[in-house]
């Protein structure tokens, strides 16, 4: 007997399941003001910038235990302060411990340097703070900041005074607000520069950093303003890059919606040309648009890139022009871009006949003592001006006679003619201090560089392979856009034990490809290395590359 099977009900337009009502994304411009997560709650309760007064009046006097949790893990970021990881907690516990179990009673403090520009007095002030209050730590970040560690809450007001004496600050160095503005390290001196973007960088910082109308954005707002394409503009929320308009001359093209983290997206050219004098206004208009239309419900979708992806650049431009600028922007083509990133390492002519010298610490690691020595060298050999680069390197400007400086920099461990390994390796903060980390990165980068320098010393014509070490999937040191991008995770060793290691992304690179797919390295399924085997792995990749093979192993 044949079994009768009931036919499935036919869905017609009448019976079709009603589309789920779209959940509000927390877009203020649509009236969605209800705070939809704990970060939005503490921001709505009070302007995070106001925590400074409590730090000065209460916390620095009464100590760590007196700090309100919303201030400790929330608002204090707006002043460049994060608690650092308690020493000795392994990466396997990162995701399972409560914040109070992971965090130490010391802080990481980020000092902003918009455009990476520091003078000798500023270097000495940071050096002084580092030696007196931060156990002589100082790392150059990949956004031209200086990061200090081991800071006690009791010392924070004194640190602010010392920094502010020389025009530096920690204002909005972290948090859901305008972060440091990345700029060309050779702005104002570069031989190939047509228009110096420094006035726009300075004006934006002066007008908008610490502005309470922009201190509650959906998430961080990363921007770059540079004539030369020597900054990783494609991974910023907003970037202006030098472009010549056929009628109006030098100005800036504009890109929006870039960012890496766990969902990497390259910024898109908006198709406009902006004169230098308009850059601050347009920068602020984009910030306001992000504040009002950005998604606030989920932290994982709150960056500008998600709004741009949903709207497309045409709608983005239309809303920007109609609702925020109240005028149209001029059309403009993107500039020609270089085939590879420009890092400025070595000796290079400035346009005024002097030279600048670019030197490489290993993965951005310096110290207060080195910063003080650097200030002395910058004054002895140049005008005292130094620039930090978004590749964790530094430049000394205005040098009449470069070779003695090259020698003196080498004397403090800063090489102007580094090996390709030292030149091209970056590392994020990692497990030494970062509460999100799974693996150690900075020491590992130093070991890797030393090993590769030794193992491949006899090889002529070594390739320039960027190696970016990251302690977790957050990609602060740009996992996806390196030749060898390393994402920290626990991996199984030969005996099946879980040990520190990396997922490998191969073949990424900024400015090397016109499209998103080409720029991001391929995450090769199953291609992982233990941290202990990392030098062997990179050596194998390099030797395969030198032999003209395509397979990495
Ligand atoms: Fe911390 Fe991860 Fe960022 Fe590294 S990539 S600094 S481990 S959050």
Interval 205-246: pLDDT, tens: 999 999 999 999 999 999 999 999 999 999 999 999 999 999
Whether the CB of 363 sits within 6 Å of ligand 1? no
Task: Using the CB atoms, write b or e for 6-20: b if 16+ within 10 Å.
Answer: eeeeeeeeeeeeeee
Q: Does the pLDDT of residue 13 top 60, yes or no?
A: no
Whole-number percent of the chain with pLDDT over 90: 83
Q: DSSP code of 23? A: P
Least confident of 139-153, 382-396, 519-533, 536-550: 519-533
The preferred substitution site among 77, 84, 434 for testing ligand 1, maximizing ligand atoms within 8 Å of CB, is 434
- Single out the residue of 81, 58, 64, 274 nearest to residue 174, CA to CA: 81
Give residue 526's pLDDT: 60
The stretch 447-474 carries a mean pLDDT of 92
Backbone angles phi, psi at 261, to 5 degrees: 50, -145
Confidence of residue 194 (pLDDT cuts 50, 70, 90): very high
Tens digit of each residue's pLDDT (9 = 90 or more) over 156-169 = 999 999 999 999 99
Whether the CB of 264 sits within 6 Å of ligand 1? no
Q: Which ligand 1 atom is the nearest neighbour of the CA of 434?
A: 1
The stretch 513-523 carries a mean pLDDT of 54
Give residue 515's pLDDT: 52
Least confident of 134-143, 255-264, 281-290: 255-264
Tens digit of each residue's pLDDT (9 = 90 or more) over 310-353 = 999 999 999 999 999 999 999 998 887 877 778 999 999 999 99
CB 293 within 8 A of CB 544: no
CB 153 within 8 A of CB 60: yes
The stretch 6-35 carries a mean pLDDT of 67
Q: Which ligand 1 atom is the nearest neighbour of the CA of 474?
A: 5
Say how far apart CA 297 and CA 478 lie, in whole Å: 26
Q: Does the pLDDT of residue 33 top 70, yes or no?
A: yes
Give residue 316's pLDDT: 98
Q: Which ligand 1 atom is the nearest neighbour of the CA of 477?
A: 5
Give residue 524's pLDDT: 58
Say how far apart CA 105 and CA 450 lie, in whole Å: 33
Give residue 521's pLDDT: 61
Give residue 133's pLDDT: 98
Find the angle CA(149)-CA(153)-CA(154) to the nearest 5 degrees: 120
- Single out the residue of 469, 449, 409 nearest to residue 542, CA to CA: 449
Give residue 135's pLDDT: 98
Contacts of 502 (CB under 8 A, 6+ apart): 439, 469, 486, 487, 488, 489, 491, 528, 529, 531, 534
Confidence of residue 264 (pLDDT cuts 50, 70, 90): confident
The preferred substitution site among 103, 261, 262, 429 for testing ligand 1, maximizing ligand atoms within 8 Å of CB, is 429
The stretch 69-92 carries a mean pLDDT of 96
Q: Whose CA is nearest to atom 3 of ligand 1?
A: 476
Give residue 334's pLDDT: 84
Least confident of 89-103, 151-165, 374-388, 498-512: 498-512
Rounded to the nearest angstrom, the distance between the alpha carbon of 441 and the centre of ligand 1 is 9
Q: Does the pLDDT of residue 261 top 70, yes or no?
A: yes
Q: Whose CA is nearest to atom 2 of ligand 1?
A: 472
The stretch 479-486 carries a mean pLDDT of 88
The preferred substitution site among 94, 444, 470 for testing ligand 1, maximizing ligand atoms within 8 Å of CB, is 470
The preferred substitution site among 142, 436, 487 for testing ligand 1, maximizing ligand atoms within 8 Å of CB, is 436
Give Cα 331 distance to the centre of its chain: 29
Q: Which ligand 1 atom is the nearest neighbour of the CA of 475?
A: 5
Least confident of 38-47, 290-299, 339-348: 339-348
Whether the CB of 470 sits within 6 Å of ligand 1? yes
Confidence of residue 203 (pLDDT cuts 50, 70, 90): very high
The stretch 282-296 carries a mean pLDDT of 98
Whether the CB of 476 sits within 6 Å of ligand 1? yes
According to DSSP, the residues that pair with 502 across neighbouring strands are: 488, 529
Whether the CB of 126 sits within 6 Å of ligand 1? no
Q: Does the pLDDT of residue 20 top 90, yes or no?
A: no
Rounded to the nearest angstrom, the distance between the alpha carbon of 383 and the centre of ligand 1 is 35
Whether the CB of 472 sits within 6 Å of ligand 1? yes
Q: Does the pLDDT of residue 82 top 70, yes or no?
A: yes
Confidence of residue 409 (pLDDT cuts 50, 70, 90): very high
Whether the CB of 484 sits within 6 Å of ligand 1? no
The preferred substitution site among 435, 437, 486, 490 for testing ligand 1, maximizing ligand atoms within 8 Å of CB, is 437
The stretch 22-39 carries a mean pLDDT of 94
Q: Which ligand 1 atom is the nearest neighbour of the CA of 472?
A: 2
Tens digit of each residue's pLDDT (9 = 90 or more) over 109-128 = 999 999 999 999 999 999 99
Bridge-based pairing of strands 81-85 and 467-470 is unpaired
Strand order in the sheet with 386-388: 117-118, 386-388, 394-399, 355-359, 346-349
Contacts of 457 (CB under 8 A, 6+ apart): none
Q: Which ligand 1 atom is the nearest neighbour of the CA of 437?
A: 7
Q: Which ligand 1 atom is the nearest neighbour of the CA of 429?
A: 6
Least confident of 280-284, 289-293, 373-377, 507-511: 507-511
Whether the CB of 108 sits within 6 Å of ligand 1? no
CB 177 within 8 A of CB 217: yes
Q: Which ligand 1 atom is the nearest neighbour of the CA of 435?
A: 1
Least confident of 18-22, 324-328, 432-436, 483-487: 18-22
Q: Which residue has the tokens 């509460």?
A: 435
pTM: 0.91
Three-class DSSP category at 133:
helix
Confidence of residue 520 (pLDDT cuts 50, 70, 90): low
Confidence of residue 7 (pLDDT cuts 50, 70, 90): very low
Contacts of 520 (CB under 8 A, 6+ apart): 264, 480, 481, 505, 508
Give residue 305's pLDDT: 97
Rounded to the nearest angstrom, the distance between the alpha carbon of 477 and the centre of ligand 1 is 8
Say how far apart CA 273 and CA 282 lie, in whole Å: 11
Chain length of the chain: 553
Three-class DSSP category at 469:
strand
Confidence of residue 9 (pLDDT cuts 50, 70, 90): very low
Give residue 131's pLDDT: 98
Whether the CB of 332 sits within 6 Å of ligand 1? no
Whether the CB of 434 sits within 6 Å of ligand 1? yes
Rounded to the nearest angstrom, the distance between the alpha carbon of 51 and the centre of ligand 1 is 25
């Amino acid at each position: 007997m044949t079994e009768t099977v009931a036919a499935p009900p036919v869905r017609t337009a009448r019976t079709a399941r009603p589309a789920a009502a779209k959940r509000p994304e927390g877009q203020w411009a649509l009236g969605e003001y209800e705070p939809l997560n704990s970060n939005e709650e503490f921001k709505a309760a009070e302007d995070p910038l106001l925590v400074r007064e409590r730090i000065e009046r209460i916390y620095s006097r009464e100590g760590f235990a007196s700090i309100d949790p919303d201030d400790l893990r929330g608002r204090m970021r707006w002043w460049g302060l994060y608690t650092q990881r308690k020493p000795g907690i392994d990466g396997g516990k990162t995701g399972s411990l409560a914040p109070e179990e992971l965090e130490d009673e010391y802080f990481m403090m980020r000092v902003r340097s918009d455009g990476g520009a520091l003078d000798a007095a500023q270097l000495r002030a940071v050096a002084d703070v580092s030696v007196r209050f931060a156990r002589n730590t100082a790392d150059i970040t990949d956004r031209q900041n200086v990061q200090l560690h081991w800071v006690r809450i009791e010392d924070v007001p004194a640190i602010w005074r010392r920094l502010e004496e020389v025009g530096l600050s920690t204002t909005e160095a972290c948090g859901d607000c305008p972060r440091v503005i990345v700029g060309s390290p050779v702005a104002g001196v570069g031989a190939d520069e047509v228009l110096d973007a420094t006035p726009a960088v300075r004006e934006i910082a002066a007008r908008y950093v610490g502005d309470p109308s922009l201190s509650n954005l959906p998430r961080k707002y990363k921007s770059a303003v540079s004539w030369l394409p020597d900054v990783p503009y494609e991974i910023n929320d907003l970037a202006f890059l030098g472009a010549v308009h056929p009628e109006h001359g030098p100005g800036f093209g504009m890109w929006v919606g870039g960012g890496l983290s766990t969902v990497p997206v390259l910024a898109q050219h908006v198709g406009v040309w902006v004169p230098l004098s308009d850059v601050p206004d347009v920068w602020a208009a984009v910030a306001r648009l992000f504040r009002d239309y950005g998604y606030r419900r989920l932290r994982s979708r709150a960056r500008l890139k998600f709004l741009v992806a949903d709207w497309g650049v045409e709608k983005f431009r239309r809303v920007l022009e109609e609702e925020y600028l109240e005028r149209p922007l001029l059309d403009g083509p993107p500039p020609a871009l270089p085939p590879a990133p420009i890092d400025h390492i070595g000796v290079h002519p400035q346009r005024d006949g002097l030279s600048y010298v670019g030197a490489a610490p290993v993965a951005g690691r310096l110290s207060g003592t080195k910063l003080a020595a650097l200030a002395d060298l910058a004054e002895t050999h140049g005008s005292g001006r130094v620039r930090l680069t978004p590749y964790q390197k530094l430049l000394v400007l205005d040098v009449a006679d470069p070779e003695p400086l090259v020698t003196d920099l080498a004397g403090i461990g800063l090489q102007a003619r580094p090996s390709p390994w030292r030149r091209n390796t970056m590392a994020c903060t990692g497990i030494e201090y970062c509460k999100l980390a799974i693996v150690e990165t900075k020491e590992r980068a130093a070991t890797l560089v030393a090993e590769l320098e030794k193992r491949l010393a006899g090889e002529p014509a070594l390739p320039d392979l960027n190696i970016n070490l990251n302690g977790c999937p957050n990609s602060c040191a740009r996992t996806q856009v390196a030749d060898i991008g390393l994402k920290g995770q626990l991996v199984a060793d030969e005996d099946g034990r879980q040990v520190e290691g990396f997922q490998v992304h191969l073949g990424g690179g900024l400015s090397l490809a016109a499209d998103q797919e080409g720029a991001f390295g391929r995450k090769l399924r199953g291609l992982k290395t233990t941290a202990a085997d990392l030098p062997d792995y990179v050596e194998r990749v390099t030797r395969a590359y030198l032999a003209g093979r395509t397979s990495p192993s």
